[in-house]
A and B are shown apart, each in its own frame.
Chain A
Amino acid sequence: MSTELPEPPSKIELKAGVGGGGEIPTFNITLRVRRYLPETTAEAYWEDFKLTMYGTDRVLDALHKVKWDHDGSLSFRRSCAHGICGSDAMRINGRNRLACKTLLKDLDTSKPITVEAIKGLPLEKDLIVDMEPFFQSYREIMPFLISKGHEPTKERYQSVEDRERFDDTTKCILCAACTSSCPVFWTDGQYFGPAAIVNAHRFIFDSRDDAGDMRLEILNDKEGVWRCRTTFNCTEACPRGIQVTKAIAEVKQAILSRTV
């Protein structure tokens, strides 16, 4: 038995030439990518790609076009391609951005668009860096709930106000855009970095967590929050709009009020 389903009402017939994909303007861009191929060359170098892109395209689409149509050896990380996984943080025109959230039309397309790997982490190939130092700092601040006493049989209650306290820092996607934009981190990579402090903040100010003191002690280190010079590079770089420098300042205040 089969019944003919009626056409869904949302379907709209589009006349050719009115709306539709053909209407999107195209423009030519020069994508200047910092290449590093450890198999063949010892030094990194710039390579230009001339591309015709659409007005709806992002930097990630341009990188896809290079990899799929021009040079398959170009290497970069990307997973979801929609600003959630945090894989494709890179330096676009000198600023740390997610390639999947940066529209080409928002950049100056008359000049070459530069794309480099994020700074301060060991370069592995092209736009791929070793994220291990970044995640090591992240692990050191114990980014998980630690509670004393018996486990409740029901959910752990939290008021709306208590949840609101650390709402901003729950948004982190660990893309490393903030940490790799920090000049203090660039020097020797010893500084914990904004991302680790943001994720510590998320638990320090969580009313359900009992290990806030331990995390404050860890961040009171000589490589901890006191190395922050409030240059606001991290706040500017964060693709999730987290007030990173403010979060670091709040952790500083928490350490101060705990000891003084």
Chain B
Amino acid sequence: MSVTIPAPRSQRIDPKYKRGPKSRSSFEMLAWLFMRLSGVALIVLIFGHLISNLIVGDGINAISFGFVAGKWADPIWQFWDLAMLWLAMLHGTNGVRTIINDYAEKHSTRAWLKGILYVATIFIVVLGTLVIFTFDPCVAGSTLPQC
């Protein structure tokens, strides 16, 4: 007497496990290093920013269009804000990039999410840099003394 054994349902007979192609670059290492170094730099930059804006002199009451214009007339503050913008944006973008890598399971999902992320990052960094360097305090009807 022969008995027909139904085919197993698990569908996991002899599966192949393939890791993606090996990466030769040290990009992930540099990204990891950048996260730590930019984090330390940002602590200094952000606290310097907060102290100069909110505590020194008249503190928060001094903040106005003129206050910002005065700050950006000084190349040191231009550089300070530029460094803060770039480091914060790249630090944050890299953080979100790792989150996408950790949580998205499909390659196409990852590619889409990261594409949107990079476009947004480039847009904000370029716009911010442009504003810092081309800022003109003398808008129409300005009452600032230097205009």
Query: B-contacting residues of A (Cβ < 8 Å)?
Result: 38-39, 42, 122, 124-125, 130, 132-133, 136-137, 140, 183-184, 187-190, 220-224, 226-227, 229, 252, 255-256, 259-260
Bound complex: CA of A25 vs CA of B47, how far in Å? 61
List, in ascending order, chain B residues with CB within 8 A of A183's CB.
102
Check B74 for interface membership: any CB of A closer than 8 A.
no
Q: Are B32 and A252 interface neighbours, CB within 8 A?
A: yes
Q: Are A39 and B8 interface neighbours, CB within 8 A?
A: yes
Complex: chain A residue closest to B107, CB-CB? A188
Bound complex: CA of A123 vs CA of B77, how far in Å? 58
Check B17 for interface membership: any CB of A closer than 8 A.
yes
Query: A-contacting residues of B (Cβ < 8 Å)?
Result: 6, 8-10, 12, 15, 17, 19-20, 22-23, 26-29, 31-33, 98, 101-105
Show 11 A/B contacts (Cβ-Cβ < 8 Å), sorted by A: A39-B6, A39-B9, A125-B10, A187-B105, A189-B17, A190-B20, A220-B29, A221-B28, A222-B28, A226-B31, A227-B102
Q: Are B28 and A122 interface neighbours, CB within 8 A?
A: no
Q: Are A124 and B12 interface neighbours, CB within 8 A?
A: yes
Bound complex: CA of A188 vs CA of B22, how far in Å? 16
Whole-angstrom distance from the CB of A226 to the nearest CB of chain B?
A: 4
Complex: chain A residue closest to B22, CB-CB? A221
Bound complex: CA of A220 vs CA of B32, how far in Å? 11
List, in ascending order, chain B residues with CB within 8 A of A122's CB.
12, 15
Bound complex: CA of A122 vs CA of B32, how far in Å? 30
Q: Are B12 and A130 interface neighbours, CB within 8 A?
A: yes
Bound complex: CA of A39 vs CA of B6, how far in Å? 8
Picked from A124, A136, A222, the residue with its CB within 8 Å of the CB of B10 is: A124
Whole-angstrom distance from the CB of A186 to the nearest CB of chain B?
A: 9
Picked from A125, A187, A256, the residue with its CB within 8 Å of the CB of B103 is: A187
Known: A130-B15, A188-B105, A223-B19. A38 touches B8 (CB 8 A): yes
Bound complex: CA of A227 vs CA of B27, how far in Å? 12
List, in ascending order, chain B residues with CB within 8 A of A224's CB.
28
Q: Are B102 and A222 interface neighbours, CB within 8 A?
A: no
**6 nearest A-B pairs in the assembled complex, by CB-CB distance:** A38-B10, A226-B28, A222-B23, A133-B17, A38-B9, A226-B32
Picked from A124, A220, A223, A252, the residue with its CB within 8 Å of the CB of B20 is: A223
Known: A39-B9, A222-B23, A226-B32. A187 touches B102 (CB 8 A): yes
Complex: chain A residue closest to B103, CB-CB? A187
List, in ascending order, chain B residues with CB within 8 A of A252's CB.
32
Q: Are A259 and B26 interface neighbours, CB within 8 A?
A: yes
Bound complex: CA of A260 vs CA of B86, how far in Å? 23
Picked from B9, B26, B102, B104, the residue with its CB within 8 Å of the CB of A184 is: B102
List, in ascending order, chain A residues with CB within 8 A of B12's CB.
122, 124, 130
Whole-angstrom distance from the CB of B15 to the nearest CB of chain A?
A: 7
Bound complex: CA of A184 vs CA of B19, how far in Å? 14
Q: Are A259 and B15 interface neighbours, CB within 8 A?
A: no
Bound complex: CA of A98 vs CA of B62, how far in Å? 63
List, in ascending order, chain B residues with CB within 8 A of A189's CB.
17
Picked from A132, A221, A229, A260, the residue with its CB within 8 Å of the CB of B23 is: A221
Bound complex: CA of A146 vs CA of B138, how far in Å? 71
List, in ascending order, chain A residues with CB within 8 A of B32's CB.
226, 252
Known: A122-B12, A229-B102. A136 touches B28 (CB 8 A): no
Bound complex: CA of A222 vs CA of B97, how far in Å? 13
Whole-angstrom distance from the CB of A220 to the nearest CB of chain B?
A: 6
Whole-angstrom distance from the CB of B145 to the nearest CB of chain A?
A: 50
Whole-angstrom distance from the CB of A194 to the nearest CB of chain B?
A: 15
Whole-angstrom distance from the CB of B1 to the nearest CB of chain A?
A: 20
